[in-house]
Structure formats: C-alpha cells, structure tokens
Chains A and B, each alone.
Chain A
Amino acid sequence: MIQRALFPASAALALAGAAHAANDLTHPEVAQIMAIEADSDYGAYLASECTACHAPNPEGGIPQIHMLPESYIVGALVDYRIGEREHQVMEQIAKRLGEEEIAALAKYFSEAE
C-alpha cells in the first residue's frame, strides 16, 4: 500500500517541468472531464482494454494505473490524446476516447484494486 500511495507523487515528479495537463487541474479539458458523472458499468467495460497491458501488480516497463488519483488519470489521457505526452500505444488508445469515456476510465481505475 505504501508503494501505491507513493507512486502518483513520484510519477508527478517525473513529469515536473513539462507543461503536462496531468499536473494542471485548471487545464480546461481536464476540469471539464472531472465534472462529468462517470458511468461505472461503462468504465468497467472500457477498462478491459487497458488490463491487457496494465496489471494490478505490474512487472517490467508498463506502469501501474490501478489506484491512481482520478485527476491524474484524466490528465494523462488528455495529454496522450492531444500528443503532449508521447507514446505510440497510449496515443493510439487515447485518441479514440471521448470525454465521457475518459471520465469513466479514470473513476474505474482510481477505485480498482
């Protein structure tokens, strides 16, 4: 649990210096998505696309996303969607997510063990 609690902070530190939406809740798109009421059934369904790569207890080079703060997940997905954060797989995944889908996913993973 300590590791999990620490991870978001260290992940945020790694991003410090770049103008990432993940650190910036005043980013209009992030705030807009955070205001959406998340559809938990839809979130669970969408999350099954993520869990092909993101394990609850990850190994290797794919980071943990379970139990991350909702705002961090929203910010990261927005960044991938607009290309501010680069990763071939994640950009491909994120660019077909709408705002309701990002909200549902962020809610799901913030609570998923």
Chain B
Amino acid sequence: MHFNRRSVLGGIAASSAALAAPTVMAQGAPRVVVVGGGAGGATAARYIAKDSAGAVNVTLIEPTRTYYTCFFSNLYIGGFREMESLGHDYGALAAEYGINVVHDWAVGVDRDAKTVELASGASVPYDRLILSPGIDFKDGAVPGWDVTAQNVMPHAYKGGSQTELLKAQILAMPEGGTFAMVAPPNPYRCPPGPYERVSMVAHALTEVNPTAKILIVDPKANFSKQALFEEGWQRHYGGMIERIGPDFGGENVSVNPAEMTVDIDGQVESVDVCNVIPAQRAGRIVHEAGLTDGDWAPVNAADMSSKSDPEIHILGDAAAQGDMPKSGYAANSQAKVCANAVLGALTDSRVFPARFSNTCWSLIAPEDGVKVGASYEATEEKIASSGGFISETGEDDATRAQTYQESVGWYAAITADMFG
C-alpha cells in the first residue's frame, strides 16, 4: 500500500464540502486551481489572487483547516516554540483575497478534461493547475516500518500531531534511555532538518534526562551543515550523540516497532524512542496525474511548468527542478516565479525573468543559530545555483544569536507571505 496523507485523513476530509468564497470574480474569468496549501501552494494562490485583483478565479484545495508548518517544528521539540505558534488557518486567503478555499483531498487529475477530482466526488475545472502536494514516504523504505507503526515510531516529518507525539515520547523516556533516529537518504525535505532535530532533542534531554543517549543511523556519508552541527554537538552536548554512517552499516537498517528495536547491519539495538524518517517521494497527486519521472515531477525552471504538461505547474518538495533544496523557503520562492508566469499566460500582465533564492536556518542550541543559502537562476536544463553562503565554524556567540533572531523574523515573514 501507499503511505500518504490521503490514507490517514481521507475519510475525515471526504465529508467536507466545497466552500463558497465571498468572491468578486468576474464571470468567465480564467480559473487557477492550486492543490496543497503549504509554502508553495498558499503562496502561489495568494500572489495570483493579489496581483490579478479579481481578474483570475483562484481555488485552493487543502484538506487541513489548520496548517502546521514542518519548518520550525523542531523548535517545538526543543521547547522554543508552542505548537499553536506553528498553526495557520486559511481565513485571510478566503476573506481578504477572495480565494475559494476548499477543504478536501484532490485525488485525481483529468488532464484532457482539465479537471481536478476531489475525494468528496466534486470535480473542479481549471485553465491552469498548480500542484504543491509536498512529500509522501516510500513504501518499504525502512523494513518493519509503515503507516500503522507511526504512532509507535513517529516520523514527525509533517508538522502537527506527529511532532507532538514525538516530543511526548522524548519527555517520557526512562532515565539514561536511548533516542534513535533513522535518517533518510537523499533527496528529502529540509536537508538540515534531521540534524537540527537531533540538536533540539539533545537540548530537551540535557534539561530533563542528561544521561540519555542519541543514536543516529544514517545511510548518507555526509549531510547538510555537517561541520557546523558536529562542532555544536561537541560543544553543547558532549558525548550524548553518536552517528552511525554507511561505513558502519547505516544504510542497512530495519526496525521492529513491537520490540522497540533497530537492526543496524545485523546488530540489534533496544531503544526507547525511535524517530523513523523514511525515504521520500512527491505527494501522490502528481503521480496520479502522470507527471513524474521516478519519485519526483520534472519541471521547466523558467515557470515551474511540468515537463509533461505545459498547463500544470509543480512547486516545492514534489518538483525535480535542479539545484534548490526541498525547503519551505524554496517552495515560496518558486511559487512567486510561477504566479508571475501563470498571470502572464492568463492575463496581459508582464512576465519577468525567473529568479529564485533560499536560506535554511537551523538552531543547534539556545541562541546558537546557523544558516546556509544561495541564489538561483533558470537555465534551459534546470534551476541552477548562482552562488551561495554558509555560516562558519567557530563564529562568535553574538553572530550565532543574531542568526537565530533572523530565523525568528523569517518565520513571521514567510508565514505572512503564505497566509496573508
């Protein structure tokens, strides 16, 4: 079976009805349908509605009524944010921007009829379709783990209840117990995310359970911001964190949720909490629509249009676009390029050259923030990096504190940019 958001929540979401937005749309206005209300989809919907000023009819299909950001969810685990501060609703997009927000699951796309099929049975016509569904987990990626085990071994790699569950498990660990993380192979959402998470778990345990251990089982030889994280772990958390890479069996892992064990290349470890972050692929709808090549959906860099269908655009984690990491910031950046191109195609508005940027902040310990980022441009082949930066090891405390404060400012800004 496929693990995806639909299989978890579909039954509940299917009962929701399409909402009638307080709209000022002109009859016969071109129709844009956006699937997925995260950093890519919410941003694209808002910008198209805002910049067209009613000339384009925008429908946003998103099953959840409150969207909990995956970005910053590690800070909740570390005790730096309340869960409520990570939740956002779609009220402003409906009330202030005239977007028809439909809380339902998109379960199929008829590319000939140009309609999106909803779990409720409704069919929504489009002139342009924007798909921004995020990730699903690959079946069988970690033997022994599937959706039925996620309450025992949480992934916590989509924001919300899974994050709350993982934190509760960490706080309930026995004294001196072991937290294990099965880290994902490339490519996956938020490259520094697992390692920021380990930092935040270490911070939480240092306060309540200082003899506890953290074990990372990792199929990758190297990871994002590695030197920065390893320096920080040594500095703040002493010998608490151990990482087993592929040289020592980190790519040959299975789990047994019933026994709470992790089998690492034949060596069985008993653990108290096990955070399994499986290998990932594009959200189901882009596969259903026939837009993928392997796990992800190839796109043209200039406008984020699908390489299989010029009237469908794919944003964020689900897209195979080139050099940008799969991050909320990247999805937000791609959404603006896409919105400009879609508006240009449907109205007489001007289209400007694509330009992209990304920054990923991570928190290692209180007031110890680091960042990595880059600018990107569209080439014929892909979104190509045109230069970047990264925090340095050995930076002074003031710089690290400032970097953390920047991340707090960024969170406020990007969520305002997404949700209005």
Given the interface pairs A88-B371, A89-B371, the reply to whether A59 lies near B336 with Cβ below 8 Å is no
Stretch in B115-123, B228-236, B272-280, B381-389 with 4+ CB within 8 Å of A: B381-389
Question: What bracket does the count of chain B residues touching chain A fall in?
Answer: 35 or more
Residues of chain A within 8 A (CB-CB) of B407 are 60-61
Chain B 320-338 interface mask (CB, 8 Å, partner A; 1/0): 0000000001001100100
B371, A48: Cβ atoms closer than 8 Å: no
A36 at the interface (CB under 8 A from B): no
Stretch in A2-10, A13-21, A49-57 with 4+ CB within 8 Å of B: A49-57
Compute how far the CA of A96 lies from the CA of B332 in the bound complex, rounded to whole angstroms: 19
A42, B352: Cβ atoms closer than 8 Å: yes
Identify the closest chain B residue to A88 (Cβ).
B389
A60, B408: Cβ atoms closer than 8 Å: yes
Compute how far the CA of A59 lies from the CA of B333 in the bound complex, rounded to whole angstroms: 20
Residues of chain A within 8 A (CB-CB) of B417 are 48, 51-52, 55
B408, A54: Cβ atoms closer than 8 Å: no
A55, B413: Cβ atoms closer than 8 Å: yes
Given the interface pairs A49-B336, A88-B371, the reply to whether A62 lies near B409 with Cβ below 8 Å is yes
Compute how far the CA of A56 lies from the CA of B416 in the bound complex, rounded to whole angstroms: 9
User: How far apart are B16's CB and chain A's nearest CB, in angstroms?
Assistant: 30
A29 at the interface (CB under 8 A from B): no
Residues of chain A within 8 A (CB-CB) of B349 are 41
Residues of chain B within 8 A (CB-CB) of A93 are 357, 375
Identify the closest chain B residue to A41 (Cβ).
B350
Compute how far the CA of A60 lies from the CA of B411 in the bound complex, rounded to whole angstroms: 9
Compute how far the CA of A42 lies from the CA of B353 in the bound complex, rounded to whole angstroms: 10
Given the interface pairs A45-B340, A45-B352, the reply to whether A52 lies near B414 with Cβ below 8 Å is yes
Residues of chain B within 8 A (CB-CB) of A95 are 387
Compute how far the CA of A95 lies from the CA of B336 in the bound complex, rounded to whole angstroms: 20
B37-88 CB contacts (< 8 Å) to partner A: 47, 51
Residues of chain A within 8 A (CB-CB) of B375 are 92-93, 96
Residues of chain B within 8 A (CB-CB) of A62 are 406, 409-410, 413
Compute how far the CA of A54 lies from the CA of B389 in the bound complex, rounded to whole angstroms: 19
Contact partner of B413 (CB less than 8 A), chosen from A44, A52, A96, is A52
Contact partner of B405 (CB less than 8 A), chosen from A51, A57, A60, is A60
Residues of chain A within 8 A (CB-CB) of B413 are 51-55, 58, 62
Compute how far the CA of A93 lies from the CA of B358 in the bound complex, rounded to whole angstroms: 10
Identify the closest chain B residue to A91 (Cβ).
B389
A49, B409: Cβ atoms closer than 8 Å: no
B173 at the interface (CB under 8 A from A): no
Identify the closest chain B residue to A61 (Cβ).
B405
B393 at the interface (CB under 8 A from A): no
B402, A61: Cβ atoms closer than 8 Å: yes
Compute how far the CA of A89 lies from the CA of B386 in the bound complex, rounded to whole angstroms: 14
Residues of chain B within 8 A (CB-CB) of A48 are 47, 336, 417
Residues of chain B within 8 A (CB-CB) of A53 are 359, 406, 409-410, 413-414
B373 at the interface (CB under 8 A from A): yes
Interface residues of B (CB under 8 A from A): 47, 51, 329, 332-333, 336, 340, 349-350, 352, 355, 357, 359, 371, 373-375, 386-389, 391, 402-414, 416-417
Could you show 5 A-B contacts with beta carbons less than 8 Å apart? Answer: A49-B336, A55-B413, A61-B406, A89-B359, A93-B375
8 further A-B contacts with Cβ under 8 Å, apart from A53-B410, A61-B408, are A46-B352, A52-B413, A53-B359, A60-B410, A62-B410, A88-B371, A92-B373, A92-B389
Which 10 residue pairs spanning A and B have beta carbons closest together? A61-B405, A62-B409, A60-B408, A60-B409, A55-B413, A59-B412, A88-B389, A48-B336, A61-B406, A45-B352
